[in-house]
Amino acid sequence: MLQFFFLCFSLGITAIGDGAIKSSSLAFGSDQLTREVYHGNARAMERYFSWYYALYALSLLVALMCLVYIQVNMGWDLGFGAPVLLMLFSTVLIYLGTPFYVKLKPKSSLITGLFQVIVASYRNRCLGSSSESADILYHQKRGSAIVLPSEKLRFLNKACIAQDPQLDLSPDGEATDPWRLCTVDQVEELKALLKVFPIWLTAVVFSINLSQNSFPVLQATTMDRHIGSSFEIPAGSFGLFGVISAILWLVLYDCLILPIASKLSGKPTHFSTKERMGFGLFLSFLSVLVVAAVEGVRRSVAIKEGYSDDPQGVIPMSAIWLLPQNCLTGVAVAVHAIGQNEFYISEFPRSMSSVASALLGVSSGVGSLLASFVMSTIDNLTKRGGAESWVSSNVNKGHYDYYYLVLAGFSLVNILCYVVCCRAYGPCKGEVKEEEKS
């Protein structure tokens, strides 16, 4: 019992550490690029996100190949000891660079500030909210460049209206009651979060497709994985092709596609974050369709060869058929994840960088929960009346091809919703600046 508790405690600490690193490292790295971005290099942030993800994918590739090999062939002691040493080395390395980092000063709790805006806007609900009125005094943060709140979601503007400056503000300019009077910056932070929420929901649906982790392994197990007469690809290693595809795409995109596009157009060219996210959604839709098509063929071959009652049997069909779906998924994840992270960080105030980089992980977590719900629902609906479930444990009797067609339908609807959300969102901050320059 004590060993089980210690194991669960260790896994919990690992999960907390993983979440802390993923939500902070991306935002911390973007802080280091601020000067370069504001000195005319508009592609610096995009390039940073691309190579960040490429190195992340490369490290994942090394882990899946080398560390898994160590754990399988050299034992769990060395298999877990190697990551411990690597983490110790990385911790020492990051602290050695401390004198050279751009470090922003910590501020008050962002979550508390968001709730203060909600409470203050409700308590001031009877006030006018137009930012163009000359009779309204807005509480500004000292040193902030934001003078007036935006016109969108105007009901939140009431949270930063100072009704009586002598009573509402202290001698040093701070609000006497932060739950009744907030700064314009606080209001704009909440607006930024609410504004991206519909687009974030489309990322949740995107994550449902990525959470189908078990079936591709079962699918590969039933197929001929031999290359030549002696080498056999492990069923769990086909995901490596997705990682390799992501790395190759990112290198080609940054070193070949964009330079060629810039040369053809005669000016620096890059694709917007919304365009890249949309392209990622489309590739995910294609990958699900390919899975459904390949599974339909695989199931037909299995039944024809008499493997209906033998889900572990290997059918005479090459597992190379699985490469297109893995490659499409890998590129889709790379394109969408990079676009999503860059979109949040560029649209949010700098004080919300950690929140911006954490939204991708939150959407993945919510998507995983929804994926379990979708599979359970389809399982319950399709096995009524004693019929074989579409997601049966016997992959040859089930209809995973139909299941993936349902996911493809969700993906298609999600793409349409994404287009509507992008039109409603309007131009991004970077797009507005480019229009002003032109």
Sign of the CA dihedral 117, 118, 119, 124?
A: positive
Distance (Å, whole) CA 100 – CA 126 = 50
Does 129 lie in the same domain as 66? no
DSSP string of 120-136? HHHHTTTS---TT-TT-
Position 367 in a domain:
yes
Helix (H, G, I), strand (E, B) or coil at 8: helix
Q: What are phi and psi of 402, to 5 degrees?
A: -65, -40
Residue-level pLDDT, tens digit, the chain, 438 residues: 788 888 888 888 888 887 778 777 877 877 777 655 544 555 677 778 888 888 888 888 888 778 877 877 788 888 888 888 988 998 898 888 888 887 777 666 778 888 999 999 999 888 766 555 555 788 888 777 677 888 888 888 888 888 888 788 888 778 888 888 888 888 988 998 999 999 999 999 999 998 887 888 888 889 988 887 778 888 878 888 888 999 899 888 888 888 888 888 887 777 888 999 999 999 999 999 999 999 999 999 999 988 888 888 889 999 899 999 999 999 999 999 988 988 988 888 877 877 888 888 889 889 999 999 999 999 999 988 888 899 888 889 889 999 999 999 999 999 999 999 999 988 877 665 554 555
- The residue ranges of DSSP E strands in 246-345, in sequence order, are none
Helix (H, G, I), strand (E, B) or coil at 391: coil
Position 421 in a domain:
yes
Q: What is the pLDDT of residue 257?
A: 86
Does 278 lie in the same domain as 163? no
Does 116 lie in the same domain as 61? no
Does 143 lie in the same domain as 203? no
Position 153 in a domain:
yes
**Given 152, 182, 212, which residue is the final one in a domain?**
182
The one-letter amino acid at 271: F
Q: What is the pLDDT of residue 29?
A: 78
Position 372 in a domain:
yes
Q: What is the pLDDT of residue 39?
A: 47
Does 139 lie in the same domain as 36? no
Q: Kindly list the distances between the CA atom of residue 148 and the CA atoms of 110, 129, 131, 194, in Å, as whole numbers in the listed order.
A: 20, 11, 6, 18
Contact 286, 426 (CB under 8 A): no
If one counts the domains in the chain, the total is 2
Distance (Å, whole) CA 400 – CA 112 = 46
Position 12 in a domain:
no
**pTM metric for this prediction:** 0.84
**Given 133, 159, 182, which residue is the final one in a domain?**
182
Does 271 lie in the same domain as 129? no
Contact 176, 170 (CB under 8 A): yes
Does 310 lie in the same domain as 167? no
Position 6 in a domain:
no
Q: What is the pLDDT of residue 176?
A: 85
**Given 128, 161, 182, which residue is the final one in a domain?**
182
Domain span at residue 363 reads 23-88+195-437
For the chain, how far is it from start to end, CA to CA, in angstroms? 68
Return the CATH number at 394. Answer: 1.20.1250.20
Does 388 lie in the same domain as 279? yes
| Cα Rg of the chain (Å, integer) | 26
Does 293 lie in the same domain as 367? yes
DSSP string of 39-91? TT-TTHHHHHHHHHHHHHHHHHHHIIIIIHHHHHHH-HHHHHHHHHHHHHHHH
Distance (Å, whole) CA 33 – CA 345 = 12
Instruction: Please report which residue ranges of 233-388 form alpha helices under DSSP H.
Output: 239-252, 258-265, 273-304, 323-347, 353-382
For residue 336, which of 233, 269, 414, 261 has the smallest C-alpha distance? Answer: 414
Position 390 in a domain:
yes
E strand or H helix at 317: none
Q: What is the pLDDT of residue 56?
A: 84
Q: Kindly list the distances between the CA atom of residue 323 and the CA atoms of 201, 209, 288, 326, 328, in Å, as whole numbers in the listed order.
A: 29, 17, 13, 5, 9
Position 279 in a domain:
yes
Distance (Å, whole) CA 228 – CA 319 = 13
The residues, ordered by sequence, that sit 6+ positions from 385 with a Cβ below 8 Å of its Cβ are none
Contact 341, 360 (CB under 8 A): yes
Q: What is the pLDDT of residue 207?
A: 93
Does 398 lie in the same domain as 325? yes
Does 253 lie in the same domain as 220? yes
The one-letter amino acid at 270: H
Does 320 lie in the same domain as 373? yes
